[in-house]
């Protein structure tokens, strides 16, 4: 109970529409390749029925614009539909239950990034170890010897910030591996890059300093504080 | 201080704590100095004294878990040299890591630190 109690105590109410918009934004991030858990929602309809699934999109549609929700339905029981999608008018929803809140609270409450559960916050030693392992992956899988470095200021952060630092390490490594899969990408990175450095920054971004790729992170802003998915890849590719 | 308490302190100093240090050296290949502040335990009850052994074993479990990975073990062997344990009469329990030393202060007749929490503090401090 104690861990959940701590998490529940930090949750804040928010309008249903805002909550569902956030859930839809997470679905888009996952669709862009980001490895994040999606909120499992149960929509309680005014008719008394209930629909469960992942929110795909929430948009205003029609001549007299009305908010409409697309829901990827996850049906219980024997049937496991791959692509059942429900079209739900927002006005028909009177309440929403998030059934996996412990996994997604830190994503839905982006204004309170400290919501990352303690069990998911890596220690500094784990991050240093991770740095070594990811550099080995870049070498063995990507075929490029790159040094990964973390600025002392970034590593001295605590709590949820370390979770986001670790996520940035993993995402950047994966993005570099994706780029290294292409012939041009491999030739370019091999010729121009020797190290990757993770630093604190006012706003997220990437830049080159000689042969060092600088990854700027605002760890206090949680997920908003770093480039991710296709945005990160495009930003790195644009540097060369 | 009664006879039982005196005997226990004697055992802690001559047998129990040296044994923990030796086990840590033999099993994990980590050489650490283990120290409890006898003066702070001065007139404390037997429960507090008995918890010294329990606490040191929790530390040993934390060290063992850190040493599961070679990288972490290497960092720990370089960065952790000593464990100190003090009785916290004010009841302000704390686990800190600084100056290559794990510093524990607990009101041991009421509580003692768990290995998981100790492990996090060591891993953040190293």
Same domain, residue pair A136 and A58 = no
Nearest to A123 among B69, B71, B120 (CB): B120
Same domain, residue pair A160 and A211 = yes
Out of A77, A93, A112, a domain closes at: A112
pTM, two decimals, is 0.67
Same domain, residue pair A217 and A141 = yes
How far is A169 from A134, CA to CA, in rounded Å? 8
**Looking at per-residue confidence, does A36 or A216 come out higher?**
A216
Same domain, residue pair A24 and A76 = yes
pLDDT on residue A160: 83
**Looking at per-residue confidence, does B43 or A178 come out higher?**
A178
The verdict on B71 touching A (C-beta cutoff 8 Å) is: yes
Provide mean pLDDT across the span A108-113: 60
Same domain, residue pair A95 and A20 = yes
Range of lowest pLDDT (A34-38, A80-84, A151-155): A80-84
Whose structure tokens read 């990854």?
A215
Q: What band does A45 get if pLDDT is binned at 50, 70 and 90?
A: very high
Same domain, residue pair A96 and A14 = yes
Contacts of A21 (CB under 8 A, 6+ apart): A58
Same domain, residue pair A127 and A106 = no
Q: Which residue of B has its CA nearest to A159?
A: B124
pLDDT at A156 over 60: yes
Same domain, residue pair A126 and A108 = no
In Å, how far is B46's CA from the nearest CA of chain A? 30
pLDDT on residue B32: 95
Provide mean pLDDT across the span A5-18: 79
pLDDT at A76 over 70: no
pLDDT at A2 over 90: no
Range among A27-36, A93-102, A225-234, B93-102 rated most confident: B93-102
Q: What band does A83 get if pLDDT is binned at 50, 70 and 90?
A: confident
pLDDT at A110 over 70: no
Instruction: List per-residue pLDDT tens for chain B, 126 residues long.
Output: 788 888 889 999 999 999 999 999 999 999 999 999 988 887 777 888 999 999 999 999 999 999 999 999 999 999 999 999 999 888 789 999 999 999 999 999 888 999 999 999 999 999
The verdict on A126 touching B (C-beta cutoff 8 Å) is: yes
How far is A111 from A9, CA to CA, in rounded Å? 15
Residue B53 and residue B12 in contact, taking contact as beta carbons nearer than 8 Å? yes
The verdict on B70 touching A (C-beta cutoff 8 Å) is: no
Residue A184: domain span: 121-237
Range of lowest pLDDT (A5-9, A77-81, A115-119, B43-47): A77-81
pLDDT on residue A32: 75
pLDDT on residue B91: 76
pLDDT on residue A66: 77
Percent of chain A with pLDDT over 90: 50
Say yes or no for a CB contact (<8 Å) between B126 and A125: yes
Nearest to A129 among B71, B120, B122 (CB): B71
Q: Residue A69's domain is classified under what CATH number?
A: 2.30.30.100
Nearest to B69 among A123, A129, A158 (CB): A129
Same domain, residue pair A42 and A67 = yes
- Token output for B45: 């009850």
pLDDT on residue A81: 58
Among B82, B23, B76, which Cα is nearest to A129's? Answer: B76
Same domain, residue pair A129 and A215 = yes
In Å, how far is B124's CA from the nearest CA of chain A? 5
Give the total number of structural domains in chain A: 2
- Say how many C-beta atoms besides its own lie within 10 A of residue A237's C-beta: 15
pLDDT at A80 over 80: no
ipTM: 0.78
Burial degree of A183 (CB within 10 A; 0-12, 13-18, 19+)? exposed
pLDDT on residue A134: 94
How far is A30 from B2, CA to CA, in rounded Å? 66
- A residues 129-148 closer than 8 Å to B (CB): 129, 132
pLDDT on residue A112: 53
φ, ψ for residue B102, nearest 5 deg: -90, 120
Same domain, residue pair A191 and A144 = yes
The verdict on A124 touching B (C-beta cutoff 8 Å) is: yes
Out of A88, A112, A136, a domain closes at: A112
Same domain, residue pair A29 and A53 = yes
Say yes or no for a CB contact (<8 Å) between A128 and B71: yes
Size of interface A-B (CB pairs under 8 A): 24
pLDDT at A228 over 90: no
Contacts of B75 in chain A (CB under 8 A): 125, 128
Q: Give which of A118, A120, A121, A125 to mutate to test B binding, by max B Cβ within 10 Å.
A: A125
Nearest to A132 among B71, B119, B120 (CB): B71
Out of A112, A137, A170, a domain closes at: A112
- A residues 152-181 closer than 8 Å to B (CB): 158
DSSP letters for B20-40: HHHHHHHHH----EEEE-TGG
């Amino acid at each position: 109970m104690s861990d959940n109690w701590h998490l529940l105590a930090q949750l804040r109410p928010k309008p249903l529409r805002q909550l569902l918009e956030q859930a839809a934004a997470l679905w888009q991030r996952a669709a862009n390749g980001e490895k994040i858990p999606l909120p499992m929602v149960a929509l309680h309809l005014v008719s008394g029925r209930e629909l469960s699934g992942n929110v795909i999109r929430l948009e205003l549609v029609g001549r007299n614009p009305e908010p409409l929700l697309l829901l990827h339905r996850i049906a219980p029981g024997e049937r496991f539909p791959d692509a059942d999608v429900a079209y739900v008018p927002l006005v028909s929803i009177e309440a929403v239950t998030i059934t996996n809140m412990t996994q997604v609270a830190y994503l839905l409450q982006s204004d309170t990034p400290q919501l990352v559960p303690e069990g998911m916050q890596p220690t500094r030693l784990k991050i240093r170890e991770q740095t070594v392992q990811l550099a080995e992956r870049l070498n063995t899988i990507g075929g490029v010897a790159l040094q990964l470095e973390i600025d002392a200021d970034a590593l001295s952060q605590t709590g949820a910030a370390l979770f986001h630092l670790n996520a940035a390490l993993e995402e950047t490594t994966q993005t570099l591996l994706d780029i290294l899969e292409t012939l041009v990408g491999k030739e370019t990175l091999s010729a121009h890059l020797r190290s990757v450095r993770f630093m604190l920054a006012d706003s997220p971004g990437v830049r080159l300093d000689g042969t060092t790729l600088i990854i700027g992170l605002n760890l206090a802003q949680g997920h908003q504080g770093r480039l991710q998915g296709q945005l990160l890849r495009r930003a790195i590719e644009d540097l060369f | 201080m009664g006879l039982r308490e005196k005997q226990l302190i004697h055992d802690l100093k001559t047998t129990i704590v040296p044994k923990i240090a030796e086990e840590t050296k033999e099993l994990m290949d980590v050489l650490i100095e283990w120290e409890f502040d006898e003066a702070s335990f001065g007139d404390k009850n037997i429960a507090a004294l008995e918890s010294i052994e329990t606490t040191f074993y929790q530390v040993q479990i934390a060290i063992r878990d850190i040493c599961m990975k070679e990288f972490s073990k290497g960092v720990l062997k370089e960065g952790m040299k000593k464990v100190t344990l003090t009785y916290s009469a004010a009841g302000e329990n704390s686990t800190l890591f600084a100056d290559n030393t794990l510093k524990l202060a607990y009101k041991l007749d009421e509580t003692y630190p768990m290995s998981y929490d100790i492990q996090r503090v060591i891993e953040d401090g190293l």
